[in-house]
């Protein structure tokens, strides 16, 4: 049996080096995890459209496509294409889990939730000619995600990623920020046994690895156990964490000892009112300075993310944020637009208030204005967002932020130069032009869309 696994092209985070395309991010684990759970007699080919062209004429008995929201339309187009060629298609991933009613229209089968148990079951059904329309996998009673085999990283083109050695220790997050897909899709916080994670780390080829956990220290005791076990491996690593780690000295010391070199923090805003509004009150702007200083003292680079478009934001927010980013001396800043991903609290609220301007998933990459902001126009929001990027990544600003810092200059230089290139794309590429004013072809009619978002009653009909 021949299985073709596909991740649609996500368009962002790409660096074109002549004909060679490289993702400036980590290797995704979504499909190579499932590939590891596929029986050895199945011949698997895995293509990530973000780094290689998708072979639309490939010979396959089954096609499996992984969907995040921003890639849903192109994933559906691919699914329709392969089905028209007579090849059955399975869809899964976060977007399918949120909107199964939409996804099922483009698939022979869908997987809602995780795939570790559903996928082998689905393959066995397919082999026996009994493929079901819907497979579901949700909660695990004890919160332990055990017996996940090491991902088949060998199926991805290693040179296609800046960070090819990805590892995952936990899944989900205990917090519920109003814009975040994670609590909407994965309500349980799951931990993998530390021994399994250490085994996966030992199998990485490079010295540097990255955790794709959305909040690596969400359970501090677990994180400490993991970091202690990592010390003898002498690896260097990066990941994502929340600002509240600033208050745990033992954790901070273990971060350093385990080889942490880089952490991404979702600061989101420097306004307490905003943070409380979006259910991120655990971020305290007064902690930002101490956090960044502590990270620098520990030799850890900070990627700091801020979001524009909150209800309390005005046209003055952009300059204030850029000044704060510079004053904090964030090593690698990043900006996003407030985006109501389906399934989230934010989506429900803005939909109710009639403030969602685009229901076209192509725009859901946090780089397009898809909402009517409360205190400015969409145009002002988009202009301010682009301005903030341009100001932040001017050579003079980068140099001023970096001056005197001795830590991780290679990581910081690479990160800043990558974002400088991204700023050029933001200003030049047609896909980033005036998105809010275009009635885009292919936008699902709002009525169907609403039903798909809120009612699951139709997910079994085809």
Nearer to ligand SF4, 170 or 258 (CB): 170
In terms of DSSP H, where are the helices of 298-377? 317-328, 345-352
Helices 317-328 and 285-297 pack at an angle, to 10 degrees, of: 30
Helix (H, G, I), strand (E, B) or coil at 156: coil
Q: What phi and psi values does residue 88 have, to the nearest 5 degrees?
A: -65, 145
Contacts of ligand B12 in 335-354 (CB under 6 A):
336, 341
| 223 in contact with ligand SF4 (CB under 6 A) | no
Task: Pick the closer one to ligand B12 by CB: 108 or 313.
Answer: 108
Rg, the chain, Cα only: 22
Q: Out of 115, 183, 378, 435, which residue is the one contacting ligand SF4 (CB under 6 A)?
A: 183
Nearest distance in Å: CB 378, ligand SF4: 23
Q: Which of 73, 181 has the CB closer to ligand SF4?
A: 181
Q: Is 175 in the site for ligand SF4 (CB under 6 A)?
A: yes
Q: Which of 113, 266, 373, 415 binds ligand SF4 (CB under 6 A)?
A: 266
As measured in angstroms, the least distance from the Cβ of 205 to ligand SF4 is: 28
Number of Cβ within 10 Å of residue 179's Cβ equals: 24
Question: Angle between the 220-230 and 194-202 helix axes, to the nearest 10 degrees?
Answer: 40
Query: Which lies closer to ligand SF4 via its Cβ, residue 215 or residue 358?
Result: 215
215 forms part of the interface with ligand SF4 (CB under 6 A): yes
> Please, which residue, 131 or 229, has the CB nearer to ligand B12?
131
Given its phi and psi angles, is residue 309 left (phi above 0), alpha (psi -120 to 50 degrees) or beta?
Answer: left
The region of 147-155, 174-182, 187-195, 284-292 touching ligand SF4 under the rule CB under 6 A is 174-182
Question: Which residue among 89, 98, 173, 197 contacts ligand SF4 (CB under 6 A)?
Answer: 173
Site for ligand B12 in 13-42 (CB under 6 A): 13, 25-26, 28-30, 33-34
In the complex, the smallest distance separating the C-beta of residue 306 from ligand B12, rounded to whole angstroms, is: 12
CA-CA-CA-CA torsion for 426, 430, 434, 440, nearest 10 degrees? -130
- Largest interatomic CA distance in the chain: 65
- Residues 38, 69, 301, 412: which binds ligand B12 (CB under 6 A)? 69
Which one, 65 or 177, has the nearer CB to ligand SF4?
177
Length reported for the chain: 462
Binding to ligand B12 in span 102-141, by CB under 6 A? 111, 114-116, 119
35 contacts ligand SF4 (rule: CB under 6 A): no
C-beta nearest to ligand B12: residue:
70
The answer to whether the CB of 306 falls within 8 A of the CB of 326 is: no
100 touches ligand B12 by CB under 6 A: no
Tell me which of ligand SF4, ligand B12, none is bound by residue 93, counting a contact when its beta carbon lies within the kind-specific cut-off of 5 to 8 angstroms.
ligand B12
Does 263 engage in binding with ligand SF4 (CB under 6 A)? no
- Contact region with ligand SF4 (CB under 6 A), list: 43-51, 125-133, 150-158, 179-187: 179-187
| Contact between residue 350 and residue 450 where contact means Cβ atoms under 8 Å apart | no
- Classify burial at 420, counting beta carbons within 10 Å of its beta carbon; exposed 0-12, middle 13-18, buried 19 or more: middle
Token pair, residue 6, equals 């596909």
**Piece in contact with ligand SF4 (CB under 6 A), picked from 129-137, 168-176, 291-299, 369-377:** 168-176
203/166 Cα distance (integer angstroms)? 11
Whole-number Å distance between alpha carbons of 256 and 227:
9
Which of 178, 185, 210 shows the shortest CA–CA distance to 25? 210
Interactions with ligand SF4, residue window 89-148 (CB under 6 A): none
Instruction: Report residue 150 CA to chain centroid gap.
Output: 21
Binding of ligand SF4 at residue 373 (CB under 6 A)? no
Q: Are 128 and 150 in contact (CB under 8 A)?
A: no
Instruction: Identify which of 23, 196, 47 has the alpha carbon closest to the alpha carbon of residue 116.
Output: 196
Contact status: 214 vs ligand SF4 (CB under 6 A): yes
Q: Say whether residue 303 binds ligand B12 (CB under 6 A).
A: no
Selected from 10, 103, 291, 426, the binder of ligand B12 by CB under 6 A is: 10
Q: How far is the CB of 364 from ligand B12 (least distance, A)?
A: 6
CA nearest 63: which of 41, 49, 52, 47?
47
- Using CB under 6 A, which of the segments 69-77, 271-279, 435-443, 445-453 binds ligand B12? 69-77
- Per the CB < 8 A criterion, the answer to whether 2 and 45 are in contact is yes
> Distance between CA 102 and CA 75 in Å, rounded?
12
Contact 91, 102 (CB under 8 A): no
Interface residues toward ligand SF4, by CB under 6 A: 173, 175-177, 180, 182-183, 214-215, 242, 266
Interface residues toward ligand B12, by CB under 6 A: 7, 10-13, 25-26, 28-30, 33-34, 50, 64-66, 68-71, 90-95, 111, 114-116, 119, 168, 180-182, 212, 214, 336, 341, 365-366
């Amino acid at each position: 049996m021949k299985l073709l696994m596909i991740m649609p092209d996500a368009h962002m985070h790409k660096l074109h080096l002549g004909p060679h395309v490289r993702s400036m991010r980590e290797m995704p684990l979504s499909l190579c995890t499932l590939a590891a759970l596929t029986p050895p007699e199945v011949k698997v080919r895995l293509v990530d459209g973000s780094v290689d062209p998708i072979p639309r004429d490939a010979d396959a008995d089954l096609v499996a496509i992984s969907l995040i929201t921003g890639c849903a339309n192109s994933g559906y187009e691919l699914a329709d294409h392969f089905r028209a060629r007579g090849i059955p298609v399975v869809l899964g991933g976060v977007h399918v889990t949120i909107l199964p009613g939409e996804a099922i229209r483009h698939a022979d089968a869908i997987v809602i939730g995780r795939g570790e148990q559903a996928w082998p079951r689905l393959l066995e059904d397919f082999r026996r000619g009994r493929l079901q329309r819907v497979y579901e996998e949700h909660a695990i009673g004890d919160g332990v995600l055990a017996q996940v085999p090491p991902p088949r990283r060998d199926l991805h083109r290693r040179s296609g990623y800046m960070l090819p050695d990805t590892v995952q220790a936990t899944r989900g997050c205990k917090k519920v920020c109003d814009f975040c897909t994670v609590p909407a899709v994965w309500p349980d916080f799951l931990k993998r046994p530390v021994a399994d994670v250490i085994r996966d780390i030992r199998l990485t080829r490079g010295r540097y690895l990255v955790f794709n956990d959305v909040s690596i220290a969400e359970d501090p005791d677990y994180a400490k156990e993991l970091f202690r076990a990592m010390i003898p491996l002498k690896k260097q690593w990066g990941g994502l964490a929340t600002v509240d780690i600033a208050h745990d000295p033992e954790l901070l010391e273990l971060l350093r000892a385990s080889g942490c070199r880089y952490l991404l923090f979702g600061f989101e805003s420097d306004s307490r009112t905003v943070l409380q509004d979006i259910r991120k009150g655990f971020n305290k702007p007064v902690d930002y300075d101490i956090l960044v200083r502590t990270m620098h003292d520990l030799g850890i680079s900070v990627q700091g993310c801020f979001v524009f478009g909150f209800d309390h934001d005005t046209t003055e927010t952009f300059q204030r944020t850029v000044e704060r980013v510079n004053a904090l001396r964030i090593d690698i800043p990043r900006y996003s637009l407030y985006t109501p991903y389906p399934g989230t609290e934010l989506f429900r609220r803005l939909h109710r208030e009639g403030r969602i301007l685009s229901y076209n998933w192509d725009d859901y990459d946090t780089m397009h204005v898809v909402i009517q902001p409360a205190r400015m126009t969409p145009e002002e929001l988009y202009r301010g967002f682009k301005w903030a990027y341009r100001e932040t990544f001017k050579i003079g600003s980068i140099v001023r932020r970096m001056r005197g810092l001795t830590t991780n200059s290679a990581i910081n230089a690479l990160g800043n130069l990558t974002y400088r290139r991204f700023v050029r794309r933001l200003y030049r590429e047609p896909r980033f032009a005036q998105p809010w004013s275009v009635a885009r072809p292919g936008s699902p009619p709002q009525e169907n869309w609403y039903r798909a978002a809120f009612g699951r009653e139709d997910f079994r009909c085809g």
